[in-house]
Structure 1
Amino acid sequence: MKILVVGAGAIGGYFGGRLAEKGEDVTFLVRENRKNQLLKTGLQIKSIHGDFSVTPKLMTSEETGELFDVVLLTTKSYQLNGAINDIKPFVGEHTMILPLLNGIAHVDELIQAFGDEAVLGGLCFIETTLDSEGTIVQSSPIHDLLFGERSGNKSERILKLQAAFSDTRASFRLSENINQDMWHKYSFISALSGVTTLMRAPIGPIREQEAGYRTIDTLLKEISMVMKKMEAPIKDNLPQIQLEKMMEMGHSMKSSMQRDMEKSCSTEVDHLQGYLLEKAKQYQLNVPVLDAVYTNVKVYEKQL
């Protein structure tokens, strides 16, 4: 398959690099500055699962021509509109769009742009970053990418995609219930990013405090309450499942939103907590911790 990876940053560079390492036909759609950097250094991955470097196939949005079988969308939510415009010339009638963005609101935007049939479900779990040299540094055991038809069907095209993704040095897994997986990830990342940004600390020190533990628990329950009102396909005991998962996380684990704030970067708070807060107001639900989380990050953004 011809695979277009939108972005060669921490997420796209890692998973796209692993596919290139396997020998798949991977092209990275990047900005001019990143293109120039990669032409000099190559795509460099440093990982506990094995280091890898390659001179990647690169293109910018100004280039036109070929269509791709699948587009791996790895941008931040606030970059989505630009990314949609950038990939339109490369999307054909049978192109699959596989988004790895956090949250859920982007799915409707992609459907509006490319049609319901084109958009797959997808998500990833990985802790990775770019260092000052543009090298992708991945240091935790988890490097999972889940994908699937939003209908849950094992279609011919999804099985072909599964074959293309198989036997890589990363965990690409076909999900039979990708919609539920996406909502569960949305709940988890909203809570994790929420408490770590609110407390300005990794998850370990927060959960060790009695009030910190209660804050995590309350936020998870608020998020699930909103999602149930939205009739999202989540499990009834999701807050307990995810609370247990957070208790098992590494003591020093930080959320990507927390890392963005530490770097004085923009955040995805509107796409994550903001979207849930809008729904809570629509359904007249009382969500004080979610409200505090959102307000905290918006105050930070006003100071950028």
Structure 2
Amino acid sequence: MKILVVGAGAVGGYFGGRLLEKGEDVTFLVREKRKKQLEETGLRIQSVHGDVHLTPKLIVSGEKPQTYDVILVSTKAYHLQAVIKDIRPYVEKETMILPLLNGISHLDQLIDEFGEGPVLGGLCFVESTLDENGTVIQTSPIHNLVFGERTGKNTERIQQLCQSFSMTKANFIYSEEILKEMWQKYLFISSLSGATTLMRAPIGPIRATKSGFAVLAGIVTEVVAIMEKMGAPIDQKQIPSQLAKIKEMGYEMKSSMQRDMQKGLQTEADHFFLYLLKQAQAENIKTPILEIVYANLKVYEKAVLGIES
């Protein structure tokens, strides 16, 4: 299969790099600055699962359209509209679009632009970042990419994709319940991101402090209440298991949103939290902690980046 990976950052660079390492036909769609950097240094991955130095095929937006079997979208949510414009020339009738964004609202955006057919469900679990030299640094044992048809059907194209994704040095996992898994991750990552960005601390000190854990539990409870009203496969019975999962995380574990704040970057506050707050308002659900979480992120963006709310 011909694979186009949109972005060669911490996520796209890692999973796209592992596919390229295996020998798949992978091209990266990147910005001019990143293209120049990769042409000079190559794609370098430093990982607990093994280092690799690759020479990737690169294109930038506006280059002559080619045909790709699958497009992996691995950018931040606030870049999605620009990404949609960039990939439109490469999306044909049989093209699969596999988004790896956190959250859920991006599915509606992609379906609105390209229709129901091309859009798969997907998510990933990986702790990775880019260093100052553009090297992908991957530090955790977990490096999973999960994908599947949103309908849950085991289609011929998904079987072909499974074959292309197999035997890599990362875990590409097929799921017949990908939407359920996406909602579960949304619950988990919004809880983790909400607490760590609000308290500017890894998860360990938060859960080890009585008041910190109370706030964390409050975030989980509010998010579950909203998602349940939305008809998501989430209910109150899952609150203990979510908290148990967070208790099992490494003491120094940070959310990617917290790491973005530490780097002075924009956050996905709207994609994660404003979306939930709008749903809560529509359902008349009280969400005092989530409102503080969102306000904290927007104050940060205005103070550090000058981004207006």
- Equivalence for 1:18: 18
What residue is the counterpart of 1:101 in the other structure?
101
- 1:229 and 1:48 mapped to 2: Cα distance? 40
Amino acid at match of 2:140: S
Structure 1 residue identity aligned to 2:7 = G
The equivalent of 2:271 in structure 1 is: 271
TM-score (norm 1): 0.99
8 Å Cα contact 1:29-1:60 kept in structure 2: yes
Q: Which residue matches 2:205?
A: 205
Paired AA for residue 293 in structure 1: V
Q: Match for residue 135 of structure 2?
A: 135
User: Which residue of structure 2 lines up, in the alignment, with residue 47 of structure 1?
Assistant: 47
Q: Could you tell me which residue of structure 2 aligns to residue 247 of structure 1?
A: 247
CA apart distance, 1:265: 0.8
The within-5 A match list for 1:162-181 is 162-181=162-181
List aligned pairs for 1:188-199, cutoff 5 A.
188-199=188-199
SS at match of 1:124: strand
Residue 74, structure 1, aligned to residue 112, structure 2? no
Cα offset for 1:237?
2.2
- The letter of the residue matching 2:119 is V
Letter in 2 for 1:26: V
- Cα shift at 1:65: 2.5
Q: Which residue of 1 aligns with 2:121?
A: 121
Normalising by structure 2, report the TM-score: 0.97
Secondary structure of the 2:106 match is helix
Question: Is the CA contact 1:67–1:89 (under 8 Å) kept in the aligned structure 2?
Answer: no
Counterparts of 1:71 and 1:189, CA distance in 2 = 24
Does the CA contact (< 8 Å) of 2:224 and 2:235 recur in 1?
A: no
Partner AA of 1:219 in structure 2: I
- Partner residue, 1:237: 237
The answer for the alignment partner of 1:30 in structure 2 is 30
Post-superposition, which runs of at least 4 consecutive aligned residues in structure 1 deviate over 4 A?
Answer: none
Aligned residue for 1:117, secondary structure, equals coil
SS at match of 1:92: coil
Letter in 2 for 1:11: V
Q: Residue 207 of structure 1 contacts residue 247 of structure 1 at CA under 8 Å; is this kept in 2?
A: yes
Q: Report the AA paired with residue 142 of structure 1.
A: I
The amino acid that maps onto 1:226 is: I
1:73–1:101 Cα contact (<8 Å) kept: yes
What displacement does 1:75 show?
Answer: 0.6
Residues 1:297 and 2:289 aligned together: no
CA contact (8 A) 1:64 1:90 kept: no
* Structure 1 residue matching 2:95: 3-state secondary structure: strand
Q: Determine the C-alpha separation between the residues in 1 that align with 2:60 and 2:8.
A: 12
